[in-house]
Chain A
Amino acid sequence: MLKFENVSKIYSGNHYAVQNLSFEVEKGEFIVFIGPSGCGKTTTMKMINRLIDPTEGVISIDDKDSNLQDTVQLRRDIGYVIQQIGLFPHMTIQENVTLVPRLLKWSKEKRKERAKELLKLVDMGEEYLTRYPNELSGGQQQRIGVLRALAADPPLILMDEPFGALDPITRDTLQGEFKDLQQRLGKTIVFVTHDMDEALKLADRMLILKDGKLVQIGTPDEILTEPANEFVEEFIGKERLIQMRANVETVEHMMNKHPVTIHESASLSVAIQVMREKRVDSLLVTDSEGYLKGYVDIEMIESNRNNNKTIADIHLTKIHTVHKKARLRDSISRILKLGASYVPVVDDDMRLLGILTRATLVDVVYDSIWGHEDPGKEDQIAATVEESVL
């Protein structure tokens, strides 16, 4: 649908407003450009409808190089919504909404029909058609601003912080309404904002910019889970990262990396000794390569004590495991549901990597209340708690 290839914008001298940007947007995708002010996000957006011409590189829409198209025609095929709304004060709502159709020379009846249809999309009555923009509230005005962009049914809509100037409640409502509308109509949206909450709420994919350069592109989940660098982490905000942690963090990050294990060839008496030393009531059984074979607990050893067996002979192979990439949130709810006191964490080949215990749950709760503190200290606490739980 929309493709940037090595696009740069250079202002007088050597100042790069946007540097060597390449990415692609799928049809129907909601992509959010985000970054601190002056990062080039608005410049990037304005290059799409050529309000700003790129210095280098190619921007193509539906595989057509936009530089080779007539700018006026190009802009009529792309919706545009801005923060300041920009409704024309001397035109009625109907005239405002159907301005692009008018430029495209639609008939008067068709335009009026279209205006009514559009107002219905945002649940505004026909009586608004004859009003002037200054008679509407800010939220209503921006709804009209959005409708104006939709009027000629363009496949692509550009939005420059459209909800930035609205009060929080109206903003929230409009974001919801708009996301809904976008999904219903299947429009491709390019949305510029500096508000991380808004981006996380609306975006299918986010593109993080800094000093005109692409820092990271990905879904909100991907960005929250694996921020590309410190800048992204900072930009997302520690608070938000911690809040989202339980939702998107993988098991790998929170697991205890030193589960108490025992080799399958060890004898039962050794097992009991290990249990006593580590003060636990069950052991994970592994082979020489570290593959998880099962577990033994104190009851099983008790019932087999008199026989001279090794662990390989008695351990239960049936054990619930979680993959290292599994979501922490899901895994915790699994532990709670199964009533298990722990779940071993494995990789693709069933190699034992760590263990998730109820103590981990405590860690998550602790983190979200007091924040992430000195990891060494925390490990210690976790270890202590773990022992008492097991």
Chain B
Amino acid sequence: MFEVLSDVIQYYMQNFSYISQEFFRHFLMAAYGVLFAAIVAIPLGITIARFGRLSNWGIQLANIIQTIPHLAMLSIFMIAMGLGANTVVVALFFYSILPIVKNTYTGIVNVDQVLLDSGKAMGMTKGQLLRMVEIPLALSVIMAGLRNALVIAIGIVAIGAFFGAGGLGDIIIRGTNVTDGTAIILAGAIPTALMAIITDLIMGTLEKLLHPVKSVKDDKENVDHAAPA
């Protein structure tokens, strides 16, 4: 056990620039997939939230995509697009659509009707209502969708190594192909896991920061004091 660990450390020391390069490649692939998906899925989520009837089959469709096994999906795109990072990014795009659409939809639909009415009654146009009320209030829920999608994407990119996309998955595959490759497998797996965990933490913090109901905690005392006035 101890031996394996020191092997891993040695591997890192010898291949640091290679590993960090793969690390970023891995992350960028995941991020691109989610980013492109967000560009499509957020407006889509808002649209289906607007037109209630669309919502059911829109989310149903995204659900079906989600059920396709990762390996199968990647293989299908490989047939169409050949090997390489693009294939993985396109597959991620499809996988990310569901969590983002679903959360955008939920976020927008759950904005209190009272607030929409009062915005409308104050003379906001539809666009202003969306920009000033609906999106700010739904943002943290949308963010939770992105977080979910990104964490899943990081996992899928690891499989992407089979399709010539590179990334940390490459290191893991190399480890499985050699005898006594435990150290190499770990050298690839540990940063992948760390990346997923850290991403989750960062996105979680972001989500909290974007939570619409804010309060300035240090002022609490003042508020209580002023309440009877």
Contact = CB atoms under 8 A, between A and B. Distances in A.
Given A88-B133, A131-B223, A103 B215 contact: no
A131 B219 contact: yes
21 contacts: A49-B121, A51-B117, A51-B120, A73-B123, A76-B123, A80-B121, A82-B117, A82-B118, A82-B121, A86-B117, A88-B132, A89-B214, A90-B212, A124-B229, A125-B226, A127-B222, A127-B226, A132-B216, A134-B213, A134-B215, A135-B216
A229 interface: no
A86 B216 contact: no
A7 interface: no
A191 to B, nearest CB: 15
Contacts of B213: 89-90, 132, 134
Interface string B90-126: 0000000000000000000000101101111111110
Contact of A99 (B112, B122, B212): B122
Contacts of A77: 123
A244 interface: no
Interface residues of B, number: 29
B117 A100 contact: no
Interface in B201-226: 212-216, 219-220, 222-223, 226
A82 B123 CA distance: 15
Given A51-B117, A80-B118, A127-B226, A90 B136 contact: yes
B227 A131 contact: no
Interface string B71-102: 00000000000000000000000000000000
B128 A103 contact: yes
B137 interface: yes
Contact of A75 (B123, B137, B212, B220): B123
Contacts of A338: none
A340 interface: no
Contacts of A135: 215-216, 219-220, 223
B60 to A, nearest CB: 30
Contact of A89 (B121, B137, B222, B223): B137
Contacts of B123: 72-77, 100, 103
Contacts of B214: 89-90, 132, 134
A321 interface: no
Nearest to A122: B229
Contacts, number: 79
Interface residues of A, number: 33
A140 interface: yes
Interface string A76-107: 11001010101011100000000110010000
Contacts of B124: 72, 103
Contacts of B125: 72
Contacts of B118: 80, 82, 86
Given A73-B123, A89-B212, A131-B219, A84 B114 contact: yes
Given A80-B121, A90-B214, 9 more contacts: A72-B124, A75-B121, A82-B117, A86-B112, A89-B213, A90-B212, A103-B123, A134-B214, A134-B215
Nearest to A136: B223
A127 B227 CA distance: 12
Contact of B122 (A76, A90, A137): A76
B215 A132 contact: yes
A77 B123 CA distance: 8
Contacts of A148: 122
A99 B212 CA distance: 17
Return the 4 tightest CB-CB contacts between A and B, nearest first: A86-B118, A76-B123, A75-B123, A90-B212
Contacts of A125: 226, 229
Contact of A88 (B115, B128, B216, B227): B115
Nearest to A80: B121
Given A124-B229, A135-B223, A130 B122 contact: no
